[in-house]
């Protein structure tokens, strides 16, 4: 979803009254909707392998940090002090670095990911107009990395990734947040949390070290995030 479409979506939910949706029966299953903007710090741990031994000794110690922003849209249902949400995001992270071979090589990749999450939140206590809650959830994502691998000793491009397949990734997240009701049917919510990608992403390369052909690199991902959410109640 393009940025301008996200803004239109947000304005639609924020300024149209809840009764505007009453004629659409499927809206009756939800109590609120919204959009969120996130600052996310990704941590990648890379390992280099070759096709013969399936593992290259000493290759698993590359750790890199990458910060980027993203947008989400969500729909939610209230159950007393508990809330359930369906959350969708499509993000394109640029220049995500994954080091391997004792950080002597690295992949410089673009990471495109579609993610669907089922999240739950529980209100710890309320002090009008503030509310504090904890949350967590499970998700499934489709990720695809494209880019080139480099050797850090001279910075020269070594080879392009030649197997840009999609990976199915399972995730879980935990968060802590506080919301402020700035209108009778709208809230501003700020959340901090952590996300783990439960299975690694495999990236095929035609050459991952001097003289080692037809290898691949695996990446373990995790992230810390801060989310600014606008919630529109129906």
Q: What is the pLDDT of residues 182-214, one digit of tens each?
A: 888 889 999 999 999 887 776 655 454 444 445
How far apart CA 58 and CA 78 sit, in angstroms, is: 50
Helix count and strand count (H, E) for the chain = 1, 12
Question: How high is the mean pLDDT of the chain?
Answer: 75
CB 123 within 8 A of CB 135: no
Q: How far is the C-alpha of 97 from the C-alpha of 114, rounded, in Å?
A: 19
Distance separating alpha carbons of residues 159 and 203, to the nearest angstrom? 12
- Residues 51-99 have pLDDT tens digits of 544 444 444 456 677 788 888 889 999 998 999 999 998 877 776 666 6
Write the CA distances from 175 to 44, 106, 194, integer angstroms.
20, 31, 7
CATH architecture for residues 3-233: Beta Barrel (2.40)
The DSSP code for 8 is: H
Overall pTM > 0.75: yes
* Distance (Å) of CA 204 to CA 108, 122, 146, 219: 13, 42, 10, 11
């Amino acid at each position: 979803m393009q940025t301008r479409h996200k803004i239109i979506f947000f304005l639609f939910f924020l300024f149209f009254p809840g009764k505007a949706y009453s004629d659409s029966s499927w809206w009756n299953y939800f109590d609120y909707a919204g959009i969120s903007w996130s600052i996310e710090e990704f941590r990648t741990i890379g390992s280099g392998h070759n096709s013969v031994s399936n593992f290259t000794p000493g290759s698993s110690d590359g750790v890199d940090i990458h910060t980027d922003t993203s947008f989400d849209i969500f729909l939610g249902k209230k159950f007393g002090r508990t809330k359930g949400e369906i959350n969708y995001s499509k993000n394109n992270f640029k220049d995500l670095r994954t080091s391997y071979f004792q950080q002597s090589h690295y992949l410089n990749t673009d990471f495109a990911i579609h993610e669907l999450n089922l999240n739950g939140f529980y209100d710890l206590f309320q002090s009008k107009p503030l509310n504090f809650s904890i949350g967590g959830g499970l998700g499934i994502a489709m990720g695809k990395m494209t880019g080139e691998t480099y050797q850090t000793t001279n910075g020269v491009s070594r080879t392009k990734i030649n197997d840009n397949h999609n990976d199915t990734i399972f995730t879980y997240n935990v968060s802590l947040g506080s919301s402020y009701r700035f209108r009778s049917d709208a809230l501003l919510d700020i959340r901090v949390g952590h996300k783990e990608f439960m299975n690694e992403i495999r990236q095929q390369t035609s050459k991952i070290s001097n003289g080692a052909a037809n290898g691949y690199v695996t990446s373990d991902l995790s992230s810390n995030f801060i989310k600014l959410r606008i919630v529109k109640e129906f």
